[in-house]
Structures are given as C-alpha cells and as structure tokens.
Amino acid sequence: MKAKKNNEAMELSRHISNFLTQYAPYHLTNSPNTLRSYEAALALYVGFLENKCGITPNNFTKECFDQKHIEDWLVWLIDERNCSIKTRNSRLSSLRAFTQYLASRDIKFLAVNTDAHAVSYKKAAKKKVTGLSRNAVKAILEAPNADTRCGLRDVTLMTILYGTAARIDELLSIRIEDLHLDAPKPYIIITGKREMTRTLYLLPRAVEYLKLYTSTFHGDHPVNDAYIFFSPIQGKEKKLSQQAVFKMLRKYAAIAHNRCEDVPLDLHAHQFRHAKATHWLEDGMNIVQISFLLGHASVETTMVYLDITTEKEYEALATLENEKQRKVKPKWNKEKDTLSDICGLHKLKT
C-alpha cells in the first residue's frame, strides 16, 4: 500500500511540475504575473497540506484535493495568512486551473476537478476607483527631466502608458515593428491577453516623444524585433522589467507629490490605466469604445473595472520568493523527503 501511495505522490508531483513549467506558460498565459500566481497558489496549498494536515509523500494522493481540504485551505489563507477576499479568490482560481489540467490528463482526476469547482468564490465588497486625477497625471509626467537619457525614457514610457491605457506587460512587450509613427494617423499595435491584438492611435505629444526616444535609444536603423523599452543591462532583446518600472514610478511619485497632493506615493502602473479609462468616460466616450481600447473581452468586464479598485500588483500577486530566485524553475525530485520537495515547490515559512 505504501508503494502505491508513493507512486501516486510521484505522479501528482510530476503533474505539478509539468503544469507550472510546460502547460501553463505555453497553453494558458504568457503573463509572468499569472504564472507566478499559479506557482504561489500551489506552493501555499502543498504547504498547507504538509504543515497543517500532516500530509507526507507517503499519503499524498488525489484525495488531498477534495472539497473539504480546499475549503479548509481557503479558511486558513484568510485566518492565518491574513489574505484578502480578493487574494483568496485568486488563489482558488489558480488551484482550479491546475485541477482542470489534472482532469484533462487522466480520467481518474475528474472528481478532483469537480470538487475544486464545487467550492464557491467569496463575494468581496466593491470599492470605487480612486485612480489618478488629471492634475496628478500632469504632475507625474512633468517629474522626469526629459533632457537626460533616463528622463527621456521614463517620460516616454509614462506618456504611452497613460495615453494608450495599455497594461504594463502589453506596453513592455511592444517592439519596433509595432510602431507606425509615420502613418497619416500614427498608431501602435498592442498584443494583449489571449494573444489578441488591437490598434491604438497616438496623440501628437506621444508621437513626438516616441520619435525622439527611438532616435536616441535605437538609432537611425532600429531592429524590427527589438523591444522599444529594453533592459539597460541585457540589451534590446530583453524587455525592461516590471520591477524597474515599479521603482521608477515610485521615484517620480515622490517628486510629483510635492507639487500635487493628489499623487499617491504608492503609485503603480495600473493606476494610469484606471485613470485613462475614467477620463475617457468623463470626456463622453461610450463604454463600448472604452471596452475595445482596454482590450476587455466583454463590456461587463469594463463596467466592473471602472467601478472597483484593484489591489496593488505586488500585494495581489505576492510570491513566496524574490525575483532573482525566479530564473530557474524548480522540478519534481523523487529523491527528496518532504512533500514540498517532491513537488518542486518552495516551503512555507512557519
């Protein structure tokens, strides 16, 4: 009986590894944040089984993913790890993605997926968007010194971020070939979620900054597949990191806050998206147009989006490790002793 349980534990650990390193990146999403969220949820779940339920590699079976275990885990997330309802629901969504993957790989895991989907999301109180006022946006865009290389890059990035209301990963994924600055109506091609592309037109000020920026940073003969905003260390084949943008925004928020108290000191990229969507609505643009420009799958999403405030990126997608540790994906290891070890997941800090 012990060997059978060990074999099932090894099978589950391989599925966890394959889901995180192969299936999710190639078939579910290309978003680094979503991938980190999947791994964080599974690490939390396995850590819960190990530390709170006494599960070891010898008794790690599909029954560990039943409805009772999942519900107890969600209570633990809120009561002992102080997760918000929004984060709790996000963790459940990530776990569901894994159980659905399990069910697609072997019919014996169908009940696992059924149990996971029987667990309900918890309703969270909606909050009005605080966003950024027009004066706050103006103060932030005036904070960089555009006469310097760094300042030119930063003001160009923030101008495009606000002007297009693009998601931060969408903006950082833009390549030279996506820019069409000499068209009668200059535009940019954005690739969003589900690999869907959309065309976003640029206002004269954004065009002016982009032309100056590309000339300065990419020269007279830019490479088509080079990232517009690239890593200063790894070069034009590597896009600028979101962490670098995060630090940059906080720096300019501190400067701009002295000029305009509306500027939040904890400024993050998504607030530009919220702000632009709100300002479009205030300027009379209809919700259908805004939905298209934001790249939402449905108008209902846009209506909810304009009515609530999302949590800060680094809180909602909190991981169990720092960015530098994310360079190498852990793999399952049958030689290890603990449940977290065989699943290739980081242990919880207790």
Residues of the chain whose pLDDT is less than 50? 1-5, 129, 308-334
Q: Are residues 330 and 286 in the same domain?
A: no
Q: Are residues 63 and 12 in the same domain?
A: yes
- Give per-residue pLDDT as tens, 205-237: 999 999 999 999 999 888 999 999 999 999 889
Residue carrying structure tokens 């690999």: 195
Token pair of 239 as six digits? 């896009």
Q: Tell me the two tokens of residue 202.
A: 């640029």
Q: Tell me the Ramachandran region of residue 167: left when phi exceeds 0, alpha when psi lies from -120 to 50, beta otherwise.
A: beta
* CATH code assigned at 160: 1.10.443.10
* Structural domain harbouring 99: 2-125+320-343
DSSP 8-class letter at 175? B
Residue 121 sits in the same domain as residue 142: no
Is 289 found in the same domain as 189? yes
278 and 188 within one domain? yes
Angle at 168 between CA 162 and CA 171, to 5 degrees: 80
Q: Three-state SS across 36-49?
A: HHHHHHHHHHHHHH
| pLDDT attached to residue 151 | 94
Q: How far is CA 240 from CA 18, 172, 236, 265, 276, in A?
A: 28, 6, 9, 22, 23
Q: What pLDDT does 199 receive?
A: 85
In a 3-state reduction of DSSP, which class is residue 347? coil
Could you tell me if 205 and 330 lie in one domain?
no
The predicted structure's pLDDT at residue 127: 55
pTM of the model: 0.55
Q: How far is CA 92 from CA 41, 50, 74, 276, 293, in A?
A: 8, 18, 8, 31, 29
Phi and psi at 239, nearest 5°, equal: -75, 155
Mean pLDDT of the chain: 82
325 shares a domain with 297 = no
Non-local CB neighbours of 332 within 8 Å, separated by 6+ positions:
10, 13, 14, 16, 17, 342, 343, 344
